[in-house]
Amino acid sequence: MKKYLILAAFAAVALGACTKVETTKETVNEPINFGVYVPKATKAGTAGTITTDGANSTVSLQTEGFGVFATYSNGGNYAATTGPNFMYNTKVSTSAWTYSPIKYWPNETIDDNNGATGPAAADKLSFLAYAPYVAAGSGTTGITALTTNAATTDPKVTYAVATDPSDAVDLLWGVAGTGGFSYTDVHHATVSVAEGMPLLNLTKPAIGTKIPFLFKHATSRLALKIVGAFDQVAAGGTLDAATKVTVAQIRIVDLPVSTSGVLNLNNTTTGAGVPNWESVTGTSTTLVVAGDDLNATIKDSGTDAVQTVEGVTASQKNIFVDDNTFFTLIPQSSSTTVRVEITYYVTTADGDLATGYSRVQNVIKKDITFASGFQAGKSNTILITLGLTSVELSATVEDWDNVTATSVDLPINS
């Protein structure tokens, strides 16, 4: 059965507006300041769930940080060919959301309402951001590369799907939030950015204005859960205390999704904030959950000894080692059929056997279909139900069959 869990997590990133001090009709800028708020948990970067401050054993965004690219346009609009000439992969982190070197809003405006004027077209800044921050892409999974600081293109992040859930990275990118974003700049013009679009062509804000980012998921998420159905179709049956059902391995075989791609941080689809994936390669991948990636309460020991863990029960359990672990995938929205393969054991303690137990290996495969595929920002859940039927014994005693008597004549003694 297919199940969707939508994770509506985001980070609101604010660029502080500048204040001005009059000095012979010129303005003096304060630094551009960042402020970050994560109202709900969001998984990103290193394996684990990111929150603002790392509460409840999650990963702290204050520590991981996020990366910002910014382009300065001298009297014109954003052009990808200009490249990141104002900020390049600037890390913003710590509880105060600090970064270095400090940058300032351009002061060139049409009219600052205090008599100072500039060219007919004001300078503009365009901000593109992603999370989690990496100094440079490396390795074979997750964020493997970033465009260089000399690139004359939009900022881009190269990403590879991890087949091991402990390496999965949920890539995020920043856009304008629900309802879009608008403000009045210092020369009395209204600046507007549509919902779900990147924050481009921003002129100097009036005092007190903040420029927010909404971080959205560029990947799709896949969760795995398991439950036992004992002696009945639906879950809820009981399992004899001497028996343990333990999982050795789960494989999602030849999953028809891309193995790598390039996320352009300058998305172009208005409204929902659709990630701009480019150079998507690969046609299938196999995902594996085994060993230390398995939930310790259901994990098979790998030996023939009687299992001491709780095992699979009539209550749903996460298959992964913890609730903060998932597979993350490059999205695709067409109907997708996948093959799920599980290897599990049923072990029963039995003192009458020479070994002290019976142990049966089961390898089960089944194809399932996700009608809507794997969409960005949505979590799909595969729920594996293991049905077990107890061996029932009955007995009768067969009656004796009466046959015709046979006479045996013996010699008669006299």
Per-residue pLDDT tens for 144-203?
999 999 999 999 999 999 999 988 888 889 888 888 889 888 778 899 999 889 999 998
Token pair listed for 308: 């001491």
Could you tell me if residue 394 is inside a domain?
no
Could you tell me if residue 275 is inside a domain?
no
Residues 253 and 163 in one domain: no
Residue type, 1: M
Domain count, the chain: 2
Residues 211 and 299 in one domain: no
The residue ranking higher by pLDDT, 84 or 33, is 84
pTM: 0.82
Query: According to the per-residue pLDDT averaged within each range, which of 23-27, 302-306, 406-410 is highest?
Result: 302-306
Could you tell me if residue 209 is inside a domain?
yes
The pLDDT value recorded for residue 199 is 93
Task: Give the β-pairing of 220-230 and 378-388.
Answer: parallel
Distance CA 265, CA 13 (A): 15
Residues 101 and 245 in one domain: no
CA 398 centroid distance within chain = 64
- pLDDT > 90: what percent of the chain? 37
The answer to whether the CB of 12 falls within 8 A of the CB of 36 is yes
Beta pairing partners, 227: 385
The answer to whether the CB of 245 falls within 8 A of the CB of 228 is yes
Is residue 345 pLDDT above 80, yes or no? yes
Residues 172 and 45 in one domain: yes
Residues 196 and 230 in one domain: no
The residue ranking higher by pLDDT, 60 or 175, is 175
Could you tell me if residue 408 is inside a domain?
no
Is residue 21 pLDDT above 60, yes or no? no
DSSP 245-283: EEEEEEEEEEE-S-SEEEEEEEEEETTTTEEEEEEEE-S
Could you tell me if residue 413 is inside a domain?
no
Confidence of residue 18 (pLDDT cuts 50, 70, 90): very low
Residues 213 and 224 in one domain: no
The answer to whether the CB of 257 falls within 8 A of the CB of 336 is yes
Gyration radius of the chain over CA positions: 32
The pLDDT value recorded for residue 92 is 81
Residues 332 and 188 in one domain: no
Could you tell me if residue 274 is inside a domain?
no
Could you tell me if residue 276 is inside a domain?
no
- Residues sharing a CB contact under 8 Å with residue 174, sequence separation 6 or more, in sequence order: 11, 13, 66, 127, 128, 129, 130, 131, 198, 199, 213, 214, 215, 216, 265
Q: What residues make up the domain containing 379? A: 220-259+284-388
183, 201, 217 — which closes off a domain?
217
